[in-house]
Amino acid sequence: MAKTIKEIEEILFSNNQLASSEELKNLENDQRKGVQNLIKRWKAKIERERLAKEKFLHMSRYEMELRENGISFIAGVDEVGRGPLAGPVVAASVILPEDFYLAGLNDSKAVSESNRDFFYEEITKNAVSFGIGIVTPEEIDKINIYEATKVAMTKAINDMNNEAEHLLIDAMTLPVQTPQTSIIKGDANSVSIAASSIIAKVTRDRIMEEIHEKYPQYGFKNNMGYGTKEHLDALKTYGVTSVHRKSFAPVRNQLMT
């Protein structure tokens, strides 16, 4: 008796490999439209997974090269929040285990919010070590955002339980003794930096959501402190708060009015 379409769906999607190529051939010879649609979906899924693995391997090339040279503890370092008018700049440092794999891991800006939350849990659960560095708006105003970014990254590195043997940093050189490699667009070219990007982004978003509870009129839970029209209009209506970066032009200009 021929298998039902539901049974075939379970065969195809319960795992990524059929019992045999002959079984797949038999399914492909099944002329039922429902079966043919299932096979198309399954092949598309397998192709997506293949491409995701290929991308992950490509993004692991810096880590693999370092490991080939006997370096085990490799920390990716990244930050989020340089551009907003309010809130802190947040950095993260992450050391991933050698066998770590997370399909779809990428620059946090290229990942949906739900996937970021899932990735955050997977990274923090499996990382050898990770650290967070936070620099407040007051500190940003004192030392400027570029220097504040370096401070946040250094704090994140120092916050880890394990000492890194090498740092992979997103487009930045830090004043630390640890050997380091600065990678342009590192969050899209290194799995370790991408992981730190996710940790930093989720951490900062949660901070901004907490700040929103105190200052809901600025819409921080939606704009995360960036200068959206909603935010700029609220600045004009309600003025500057303690979480605003007073050295940033739109805020500074508002203070001068």
Query: Is pTM beyond 0.85 here?
Result: yes
What pLDDT score does 20 carry? Answer: 63
- Do 201 and 83 share a structural domain? yes
pLDDT tens-digit readout, 134-183: 999 999 999 999 999 999 999 999 999 999 999 999 999 999 999 999 99
- What is d(CA 146, CA 255) in angstroms, rounded to the nearest whole number? 22
Helix, strand or coil, per DSSP, at residue 79: strand
Same structural domain, 126 and 40: no
**Based on the domain organization, do 28 and 117 belong to the same domain?**
no
Dist. CA 162–CA 254, nearest whole Å: 44
CA–CA separation, 185 vs 157, rounded Å? 19
End residue of a domain, out of 42, 58, 74 = 58
> If you average pLDDT over residues 11-38, what whole number do you get?
77
- For residues 15 and 80, state if they share a domain: no
Asked whether residue 79 is marked as a ligand-binding residue, the answer is: yes
Do residues 132 and 83 share a domain?
yes
pLDDT at 212 over 60: yes
205 is in an annotated binding site: no
Indicate the pLDDT class of residue 1, thresholds 50, 70 and 90: low
User: Can you give the CATH number for the domain in which 195 is found?
Assistant: 3.30.420.10
- Please give the DSSP secondary-structure letter assigned to residue 248: S
pLDDT in tens, 102-132: 999 998 989 999 999 999 999 999 999 999 9
Contact 9, 38 (CB under 8 A): yes
204: Cβ–Cβ under 8 A, 6 or more apart, which residues?
80, 81, 87, 88, 89, 90, 224
Categorize the per-residue pLDDT at 18 as very low, low, confident or very high, splitting at 50, 70 and 90. low
Claim to verify: residue 194 and residue 132 sit in the same structural domain: yes
141 is in an annotated binding site: no
3-state helix/strand/coil string of 113-139: HHHHHHHHHHHHHHCCEEEEEEECHHH
Res. 16: pLDDT tops 80: no
Same domain for 77 and 203? yes
pLDDT by residue (tens digit) across 64-96? 999 999 999 999 999 999 999 999 999 999 999
Which domain covers residue 132, as residue numbers?
Answer: 61-210
Sign of CA dihedral 149, 124, 116, 61: positive
Same domain, 221 and 131: no
Q: Which residue, among 6, 245, 21, has the nearest Cα to 136 in the 3D structure?
A: 245
Give the residue from 19, 36, 58 where a domain finishes. Answer: 58
